[in-house]
């Protein structure tokens, strides 16, 4: 239970930090009526937005993951640069044992990390957490940071 509380607290802390950074950018004074609006983070549309994680397998927050699962999959909103990935270890005991090198599927958006999971364990992976932030799209825009936390069933 304590590990679950820590994992949830870590997820909430990251979400709060990211929301705070986004809101801080939006908290500037309103532009004059005739001025052109300034885009947040240089984003003026979907094409200029950084890639974001749109799905994970297992899903973030899952507490019933089959320990026989052999791959962690991370799917992005855009085509990604082959050979660029960043699965960062924040805690040695909570990082899964890897059984191979990461790779992208043919869709160019899903990165697969081969793993060996243990039953009844909490896992924590920081995806694109600086300075380990190599996930980037084909236009070399770095992906937004993401915290993946899940538990395997006993």
The tens digit of pLDDT for each residue in 80-121 reads: 999 999 999 999 999 999 999 999 999 999 999 999 999 999
Higher pLDDT, 23 or 112: 112
Provide the pairing of β-strand 53-57 with 71-76: antiparallel
Higher pLDDT, 38 or 125: 125
Please give the Cα distance from 114 to 99 (Å, whole number): 5
Q: What is the CATH number of domain 2-151?
A: 2.60.40.1220
Residue 1: both structure tokens together: 């239970």
Is the separation of the CB atoms in 115 and 28 below 8 Å? no
Is the separation of the CB atoms in 142 and 115 below 8 Å? no
Burial class (CB in 10 A: 0-12, 13-18, 19+), 10: middle
The pTM score is 0.74
Runs of H (alpha helix) within the chain: 2-26
pLDDT band at 37 (very low <50, low <70, confident <90, very high): low
pLDDT band at 42 (very low <50, low <70, confident <90, very high): confident
pLDDT at 44: 86
Higher pLDDT, 17 or 149: 149
Chain centre distance of CA 145: 5
Please give the Cα distance from 74 to 41 (Å, whole number): 24
């Amino acid at each position: 239970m304590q590990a679950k509380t820590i994992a949830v607290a870590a997820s909430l802390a990251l979400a709060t930090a990211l929301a705070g950074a986004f809101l801080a950018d939006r908290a500037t004074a309103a532009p004059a009526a005739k001025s052109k609006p300034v885009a947040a983070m240089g984003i003026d549309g979907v094409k200029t937005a950084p890639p974001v994680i749109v799905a994970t397998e297992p899903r973030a927050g899952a507490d019933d993951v089959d320990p026989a699962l052999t791959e962690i999959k991370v799917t992005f909103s855009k085509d990604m640069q082959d050979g660029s990935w960043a699965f960062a270890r924040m805690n040695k005991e909570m990082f899964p044992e890897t059984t191979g090198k990461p790779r992208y599927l043919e869709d160019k958006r899903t990165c697969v990390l081969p793993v060996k999971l243990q039953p009844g364990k909490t896992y924590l992976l920081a995806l694109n957490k600086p300075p380990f932030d190599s996930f980037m799209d084909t236009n070399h825009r770095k992906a937004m940071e993401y915290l993946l936390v899940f538990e395997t069933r006993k």
